[in-house]
Structures are given as structure tokens and as C-alpha cells.
A and B are shown apart, each in its own frame.
Chain A
Amino acid sequence: MDLLSESVKSMNGYKLHVVNTDKYKTNTLVWKMKAPLNKETVTLRALLPYVLQSNSESYPTTGKLRSYLDELYGATLFVDLAKKGEYHIISFSMEVANEKFLADTTALLKKAFQFLAEILTKPNVQGDSFDLETVEKEKRTLKQRIQSVFDDKMRYSNFRLIQEMCEEEPYSLHVHGDKDSVDHITAENLYQYFKNALNQDELDLYVIGDVDEKEVESFAQELLQFNNRSPQSISSSNYSRKNNVHEVKEEQDVKQGKLNIGYRTNVVYGDEDYFALQVFNGIFGGFSHSKLFINVREKASLAYYASSRLESHKGLMMVMSGIENKNYDQAISIINAQMEAMKNGDFTENEIVQTKAVIKNQLLETIDTARGIVEILYHNVVSKKDVTINDWMEKMDSATKDEIVAVASKVTLDTIYFLTGKEDK
């Protein structure tokens, strides 16, 4: 049985993906815009969705726009940004009640569609420019958003690792852009960029819920029409550090040191050995039965958290742990020893079985939420592959110990970043 099936239709300028399921009380719409990451556009893209969601032609103030959403039984609208490999992705998400669970039976899905179309195609524009005041307000908030990364030390140290590790690559750019570039944005040039983005970005619309596919298609056809395009794609970069491991220590006023380590896996989503890589990551550090958790936390009592995760489209693996500043050397040596063990095949059949069971569980749980469904399906858009979740589980499940050791040998240590306190020097 297919665990998850989507019907995909090519529309005017975008693809419509529909997943029909009756397990939710709400229906979800997600609009995705994808373009290559680069320094010139990253901050424009970081600002754009926030300006669009503030107001529109028919709802010229945030108050009016949000009141309308409240009237639609608290339909939600939120925007976010992500990096997948060297792509920068803007998402607009809406969730609206399914009226069959309400006393009031007004049809809400069409209204949600109309609203999303309004946000995307009828912004609050004067002449050839977005509303000036809106742009200025959102510029101020964007600066604060960029700045707030500094205040959350876990996010900050992760960002700094990437910045150091991928210095030469677009991936080092922050998903919310660059604070100094914000001031160069004007209501005019942002509007210009908006028109470009709608003409050039790869566009996808996901609709998840208890919906009538034909009806959804007709809404989409009627309300959302764009020019056809051939989206820009980039060849995957195979950057590798020529010299030794890059080691960075940064001092700040923090009580707990944050240790972040970056590896190149040299494997990306959809590659033949990607599925073995997932098992590798699971045995090494992905879970609370993994080597990192057991050895850094349970045995040595050095940390509360010690884990690893993959950036599937970029081919990275990141380890993170919060430790006492003085335990830096010990933590590094424990983590290195776990990596050595992986490369030497020093793990049991039991660990493999356990890890596969947990990964399978994780995948199935992910597709229990509408957002999870979209994230899983969107991997195929980014990678231009066609991996179903059934393939994914089967290939992962059939990964052998030899394959796991083989993929481990491709993983190379790149950068060690440590955010350390000032006191105990």
C-alpha cells in the first residue's frame, strides 16, 4: 500500500500537488517559491514574504487583513524561509477549518484559496512600488529578526559553524539575509524583485486535506495563473577543504560552551547511498540510543544534549552539544572516537536494527502532519528525484552493514566551531 500518494498537475507556471486525506479537521495550503541562493537576492527574498503577508489591495492594513482571517474561523497564514542545499525557499502556509466540523457550514476552502491568491497577486501597490510604510516597517522587523540569531546561542553557534565551514559557498548566507543589505532595499526595488521572482522562481502549491481534487484544480486554475518558465537550477557544488580541519574558537559571555562540528558527507538526497547515510547518522548521533548520546551524555556526563543531524540537500552532517568550557578536549576526543568506531564498522547488528526501526517510525510520524507531508514531498522538487516514501523506507531498510561502513568512509571532518565562555581561563 502506498503510504502517501500525491497527485501532481502542471498548471500555469506552477505545479499543483494534492494529497487527499480525511484525518484532519482542517485543510492546509502551502505555496513554495524556490530560487538559487545568492548574495544579491537573499535579503530581498527574506523581506518579500513578510511584506506580502502584511496587507494587500483589498485588505490595506494588517488589522483588516487579520480580521478577515479571524472571520474565517481563525484561518492561519504564516510565512517562512528555508535553505535546502543551495536554494532559498519561501513558503506561505494557510490552514483553515474544515466546515464539516463546525455548526456554521460556510465553505471555507475556496475563501482560503481566494485569500492566498490575493496575497500573492494583489499586493498593496502604489504605481510601481510596494506601499512605502509597509516596507519600512518590515525592514525594521527584519533587522531585528536577523539580530535575534545572536541572542539564541544554540542557533548562533550553528549559524557560525555554517558560516565558517561554507565560507566559499552560497550556503553560508543566512536564511534571513544580511543586516547591512536591508538598508539598500527600497519599496521600488523590492516590488521589481517581486515581479521577477513570480516570473522566474520554481513554484509549487500543495493542498492537503479532505478535499475534492477537481474542485481544488478549478480553484487553482481560476485564481492562480502565472507565466510558464524553466526554473533556474544549479549544479551541486562539490567543494572540499584542501588543507587540515578548520578549528574556530569564539569567546563570548556564556555559561555553557556550544560545540558544533561540521562534516562533509559527500552524499545528497536521492543518491544510491543516501539511505545508508541515514542509518549511519542514526547510529552515530541522531537519536537517544545513538553513540553520541550514550558516550557524551550517559557515560561521561558531559552534556545534556549531544546529537547529529543531516543537511540532506547540501551533503553535510552537523554535530551539536552544550558542554562546560573546560571539557572541550574530552568532548572532542569522545566524538572523534565515535566517528572512528563508525568508520571501522564497530557497531552491532542490534544497533542497525534499532536505528532502522526508529527512522521508519520517524518517517511515518512525519507524514501524520500536513506540514510533514509537504516537507517530505518537497524533497523531490528540490532534488529533482522521484523517491516515494515507500522507496525511501525499503531502501533504508535494506542498507547493509557494508554499505553503512562504505558511506562512513566518505564522511570527512571539515570544521570545529566552539563558542566558549570567558570565565574559566
Chain B
Amino acid sequence: MEKITFDQLQEELYYENLENGLDVYILPKAGFNKTYATFTTKYGSIDNHFLPPGKEENVKVPDGIAHFLEHKLFEKADGDVFQQFSKQGASANAFTSFTRTAYLFSSTSNVEKNLETLIDFVQEPYFTEKTVEKEKGIIGQEITMYDDNPDWRLYFGLIQNMYKNHPVKIDIAGTIDSISHITKDMLYECYHTFYHPSNMLLFIVGPIEPVQIMNLVKGNQAKKEYKELPEIKRLFEEEPVVVAEEKQVLQMNVQTSKCLVGVKAQNVNQTGDEMLKTELCLNVMLDILFGKSSDHYSFLYNEGLIDDSFSYDYTQEAGFGFAMVGGDTGDPDRLADSLKCILLKGKENGVITNESLERTKKKKIGAFLRAINSPEYIANQFTRYAFNEMNLFDVVPTLEGITLEDIEVAANELLSENRFTVCQVVPKR
């Protein structure tokens, strides 16, 4: 077991790569009551076209299957795992994103038992035709719930505008029609492709003793047999650099309009330090342009174009990336034009000053300290970073090293007119 210390932050991280390929990280947090653990596979909604191990032919699976699988793993021959967790005083959950499926629990007692339960339930799938059918009603209601949610529709509408082929444009839960085609055999095929320990990461944070916890995990894994998995082959179609649609307007049952402006990233084959730097630079840039201390924010707010729902973010994963800016607005068209204009001007010399850069760096460093008060944040973000070969604990040193030139390079790479798109939700007439 390797021990990594972060002096400034006063944190220690323990790491081991087990024989079956599983990455295990343990971060002791003294003084906390709760232990939080995530068991995550590098498998999300975008992984819908792949070569199953031992097979000759690639398969394409129905939209929403990774999320469906996440739901079904909780069900076992003797009932559902939620029951067992709550008997052990834990609360359990799971989520599926574009690139990951995470299973998790938090508990303030019986930590070792709960950890075994977490690992075992994820590693012992039990799918039957009957339970698969039953789940379709439940997930169907999850899908309709999101259909009625204007913020979700706006967010997904914007991604669909950006991407022509890439499966990031597919709604994570799929559609009622697409999930109707899911069978137990398909679930097993996805499971055996993506749930091998070598494609997974276990993160445990809490008031725990690292050696003891690591031994428990190792003992648990040693009892299970895994054949070595060849590298997973995922297939993606070629994606144009320009956006698929420049604008989309959704009419919904709302009283206030909403507007998001998106910019599709082109340089999305980065990993590691390079990717970390790009992500941080662009988030710093957005903060300088749109943060509450900026002139632009005051202008937009004073003009009634934004309110406190306004937000901005840049995110990147292997194969896709985008910036998003917007929120509720009194005038969706004027807001779209203003945001585009501010972003394009952002590349010009002199808009981003050294003073604003230094101030924003301070702000980001403070925000990072605040974030790592949260065990959930640490486990989830560490995993996301690790899957992209980045290290969460490099955030502060990388931020400190960012220069005006770095921002300029990242901004020039991102901001180009043919990669802008707008999505709006307006009241139904």
C-alpha cells in the first residue's frame, strides 16, 4: 500500500492496485462521523457501442441501458439491497453519468459490513426477465419526471444541439421506447464487459483505519475469481467539430423563459495534466467573465437578463467537452446575444487582466478547500479525475501555476463562432 501526503492540506491518501486490477483509495478523515464509499465503473451512457469480451462482433445496445443496469444491480434473489444497508444503518444510492456508474453508501456504524455489502452486491449481478420488466414502469416514471423538468430539457437540448453523432447526446435514462427493448441477456453482456475490477475504482473516505480497511478489501477480492480482461474496445463515430444545430427553442409549461449558450470543445483527446490545465483555465476564464464580481455580471443583472439562477461551467471528458452559460431570463434572445458577444470578446487582449486572474485564483483555491470538507465531493471527484488520469489533489498547485498566456491559449482553442449554440425554453403559447 502506497501512502501519499498533502502537507498544505493536511491530508493523507492510501492507494493500492489489487491483483485483479481494482484500484483502491482510502482517505482517513478524523473527526467525521460518517464513512462514505463509492464503487465506480468507468462505464456510462456513452458506452453504447462496444466489443464484448470473447465475442467477434461489436454490439450496439439500447439507449439508457447503463442506467437501467444500475437500477437492476440493487435487486437480488432474496430481495433488494437497500433493505440490507438500512438494517446495517447505512444509506445507499447510485448514479449514472455520461462516463461513469457509481454505487455508494454512507454510514456511521458497521462500516466494514457495509463496505462488504457494497462490493458484493455490485460484483454479484442477478437479472431475471421478470424483474427487468418490472423496472420498466419505475424507470418510465423517472423519464417522465425529467420530461416535465424544464432545466433538464434545456441542458439536454443544448448538448443535443452540439453533438451530431456522439452518444453524449443521448439522454442518460433513455426513452420509454428504448428501454422497452432491454432484456436480461443484454444487461449481462454489458455487465461482463464493463464491471471487471480492472475497469473499476473503490474510494473510501471517513474516520477509518487504512490498513484494516485495505486488508478487508483485499480479502474480499481474493475470494473471487476474475479472468484477465483484454482492453475494452469502445466504438465512437467520427464527430464534426462544428455544432449540429445553432439554435433550438422548446415550448414548455413555464412562466419564466430560460436560455443557455453552449460552446463545443474541439480539443477533446487530452488526458492527465494537460486536461486538468485546460479544464481549470477555462473555468477560471468563465469566472473572470461571468462571476458576480465581473462587470458583465452586473450589466446582465442590471438589465434584467439574468437572476440568481445564472450559472456557468466548463467540463471535459474523453471525446467530448463543452462550456455552458445561462439561466432564467426575461429576454432569452437578448441574453443569448449578450453571452455570445462576451465570450467572443473574452479572447481579445486586455479583457482578462492579471489582477482579475490573481483574484479568481484565490477564489478558486478557497472554493477547493470548501469542497474538500465534503467526503462525497472527494470520493466522486477523485474518481472522475482518476478515470481521466488526473489527480484531484493537483488542483491547487495547477491553479497557482496558471498564467495569462495559458488562459489565452485555452480561450483561443475553445471560442470559435461555429461552435456556439443556443437552447431556450419559452412559455407555451
Contacts and interface: CB of A to CB of B under 8 A. Distances in A.
A298 B72 CA distance: 12
A368 interface: yes
29 contacts: A3-B33, A22-B31, A23-B31, A26-B366, A62-B292, A63-B292, A63-B294, A67-B293, A70-B362, A70-B363, A74-B364, A144-B330, A145-B307, A148-B309, A152-B149, A152-B151, A253-B428, A255-B147, A256-B144, A256-B145, A289-B86, A301-B135, A301-B136, A304-B145, A322-B141, A324-B141, A358-B89, A367-B33, A368-B34
B180 interface: no
A253 B150 CA distance: 13
Question: Main secondary structure on chain B at its contact with chain A?
Answer: mixed
Interface stretch (B58-66, B223-231, B253-261): B253-261
Contacts of A370: 373
B83 interface: yes
Nearest to A303: B141
A353 B363 contact: no
A23 B30 contact: yes
Contact of B308 (A101, A145, A365): A145
A368 B32 contact: yes
A137 B292 contact: no
A145 to B, nearest CB: 7
Interface stretch (B105-113, B156-164, B185-193, B232-240): B105-113
A255 B146 CA distance: 10
B38 interface: no
A357 interface: yes
Interface string A339-360: 0000000000010011101101
Name the residue among B141, B330, B369 with the largest chain A CB count within 10 angstroms.
B141
Contacts of B255: 147-148, 150-151
Interface string B356-378: 00011011111101101111000
B148 A74 contact: no
A339 B272 CA distance: 54
B76 interface: no
Interface residues of A, number: 72
A66 B109 contact: no
B180 to A, nearest CB: 14
B382 interface: no
Q: What bracket does the count of chain B residues touching chain A fall in?
A: 35 or more
Nearest to A100: B10
A153 B255 CA distance: 12
Given A61-B298, A67-B359, A365-B108, A72 B307 contact: no
Contacts of A254: 148, 253
A275 interface: no
A362 B91 contact: yes
B151 to A, nearest CB: 8
Nearest first, the 6 A-B pairs at minimum CB distance are A301-B137, A74-B366, A23-B31, A73-B366, A74-B363, A357-B89
A323 B141 contact: yes
Given A26-B373, A140-B304, 5 more contacts: A73-B363, A287-B86, A354-B86, A357-B89, A368-B34
Contacts of B141: 256, 302-304, 322-324
Interface string A200-220: 000000000000000000000
A363 B253 CA distance: 38
B205 to A, nearest CB: 11
A361 B149 CA distance: 31
A62 B301 contact: yes
B8 A103 contact: yes
A75 interface: yes
A364 B295 CA distance: 43
B82 interface: yes
Interface string A277-296: 00000000001110001000
Contact of A357 (B87, B106, B149, B372): B87
B21 interface: no
A310 to B, nearest CB: 17
Given A72-B366, A302-B141, A369-B373, A63 B134 contact: no
Contacts of B87: 350, 353-354, 357
A155 to B, nearest CB: 11
B301 A304 contact: no
B142 A76 contact: no
Question: Main secondary structure on chain A at its contact with chain B?
Answer: mixed
Given A23-B29, A101-B9, A63 B297 contact: yes
A95 interface: yes
B109 A361 contact: yes
Contacts of B212: none
B10 A101 contact: yes
Contacts of A303: 138, 141
A298 B144 contact: no
A405 to B, nearest CB: 21
Interface in A67-107: 67, 69-76, 95-98, 101-103
A114 to B, nearest CB: 17
A289 B87 CA distance: 9
Nearest to B330: A144
A369 B377 CA distance: 13
B254 A151 contact: yes
Contacts of A75: 366
Interface in A1-45: 3, 21-26
A313 to B, nearest CB: 24
A370 B373 CA distance: 9
A365 B86 contact: no
A297 interface: yes
Interface in B298-325: 298, 301-302, 304, 307-309
A255 B309 contact: no
A340 B371 CA distance: 44
A240 interface: no
B171 to A, nearest CB: 14
Contacts of B168: none
Contacts of A369: 373-374
A373 B301 CA distance: 33
B328 interface: yes
Contacts of B304: 137, 140
B139 interface: yes
Interface in A356-409: 357-358, 360-362, 364-365, 367-370
B286 interface: no
Contacts of A151: 150, 254-256
A26 B369 contact: yes
Nearest to B298: A63
A388 B29 CA distance: 25
Interface string B1-14: 00000001110000
Interface in B68-114: 80, 82-83, 86-92, 106-109
A256 B309 contact: no
A308 B150 CA distance: 25
A189 interface: no
Contact of B365 (A3, A74, A141, A297): A74
A327 to B, nearest CB: 9
B369 A101 contact: yes
A150 B254 contact: yes
Contacts of A71: 359, 362
Given A25-B372, A357-B86, A362-B91, A144 B253 contact: no
A73 B304 CA distance: 29
B291 interface: yes
B109 to A, nearest CB: 7
A56 to B, nearest CB: 14
A27 B5 CA distance: 23
Contacts of B360: 70
